[in-house]
């Protein structure tokens, strides 16, 4: 087999691998479903490394669980109608129905925030911590935003075309709105970047699985990954460069 053929086959194999990876989901077995009450996404230190975890506050004693062991249910009780006006136009047309995890706790629905309050975080006392949601799978859009009330407009944190690291100091606890435009199963990448006391940098990524609506199941299809923000541009440039290289090889 010629070098040219090997290069082309390798490139095609990479594209197939990317497609297969994009369609993967989370395992359905051995998971805990949280559908109401308080939960937080956060990080904890495990030896010399960090990992993303979910603090389940729905029981008598709060429990930190691995993110892959948790399913977050957004029931139909969380459905809300979008108001008139321009402030929330980024969520969709006025009058549309969405599923919303609210910033302020509401009876009977999931109340999801994030924190840096695990004892291991306090003990390590990193210089900086940032959280980011960089990509998702799902049947509709996901917007994560903050409401301030009064005359201040909502602040969009993460959503289609919008990915940004948000600084979260040690011992911080925050809640936001999580708005889903369509029912179904969503998977999102939640990434933490940590700068240790000695200046070394660490990162951790966990996948959060949401079942939006009473009928959604862990077997529901999610579709392809949708990459947000600068990461999407970087991946696009890599793909274009690869295709240009293949084209040049084939012309020889």
Query: Percentage of residues in the chain with pLDDT exceeding 90?
Result: 69
Enumerate the β-bridge partners of residue 145. Answer: 156, 177
Sheet holding 142-146, edge to edge: 79-81, 97-101, 177-180, 142-146, 155-158
Confidence of residue 248 (pLDDT cuts 50, 70, 90): low
Give residue-wise pLDDT tens across range 203-215.
999 999 999 999 9
Annotated domain spans of the chain: 1-23+229-252, 28-223
Which residues are CB-neighbours of 145 under 8 A, at least 6 positions away? 154, 155, 156, 157, 159, 176, 177, 179
Query: How far is it, in rounded angstroms, from Cα 53 to Cα 71?
Result: 12
The pLDDT of residue 162: 87
Which residues are CB-neighbours of 152 under 8 A, at least 6 positions away? none
Say which DSSP state 162 is in.
B
Tell me which residue of 6, 60, 57, 45 sits closest to 170, measured CA to CA: 45
The structure's pTM equals: 0.81
Give residue-wise pLDDT tens across range 134-168.
889 999 999 999 999 878 899 999 999 888 999 99
Quote the tokens at residue 179.
């708005």
Is residue 31 exposed (0-12), middle (13-18) or buried (19+ Cβ within 10 Å)? middle
The pLDDT of residue 8: 44
Residue 110 has pLDDT above 70, yes or no: yes
Handedness of CA 221, 224, 225, 226 (dihedral sign): negative
């Amino acid at each position: 087999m010629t070098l040219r053929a090997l290069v082309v086959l390798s490139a095609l194999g990479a594209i197939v691998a990317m497609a297969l990876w994009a369609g993967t989901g989370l395992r359905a077995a051995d998971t805990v479903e949280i559908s109401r009450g308080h939960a937080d996404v956060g990080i904890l230190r495990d030896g010399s490394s960090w990992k993303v975890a979910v603090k389940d506050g729905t029981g008598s004693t709060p429990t930190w669980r691995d993110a892959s062991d948790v399913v977050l249910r957004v029931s139909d009780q969380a459905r809300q109608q979008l108001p008139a006006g321009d402030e929330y136009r980024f969520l969709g047309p006025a009058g549309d129905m969405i599923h919303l995890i609210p910033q302020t706790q509401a009876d009977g629905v999931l109340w999801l925030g994030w924190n840096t309050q695990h004892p291991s975080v306090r003990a390590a006392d990193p210089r900086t911590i940032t959280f980011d949601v960089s990509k998702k799978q799902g049947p509709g859009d996901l917007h994560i935003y903050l409401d301030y009330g009064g005359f201040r407009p909502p602040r969009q944190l993460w959503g289609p075309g919008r990915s940004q690291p948000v600084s979260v100091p040690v011992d911080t606890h925050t809640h936001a709105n999580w708005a889903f435009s369509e029912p179904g199963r969503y998977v999102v990448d939640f990434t933490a970047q940590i700068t240790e006391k000695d200046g070394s940098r660490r990162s951790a990524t966990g996948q959060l699985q949401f079942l939006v609506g009473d009928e959604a199941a862990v077997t529901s299809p999610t579709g392809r990954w949708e990459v947000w923000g600068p990461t999407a541009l970087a991946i696009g440039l890599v793909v274009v460069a690869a295709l240009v290289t293949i084209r040049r090889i084939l012309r020889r």
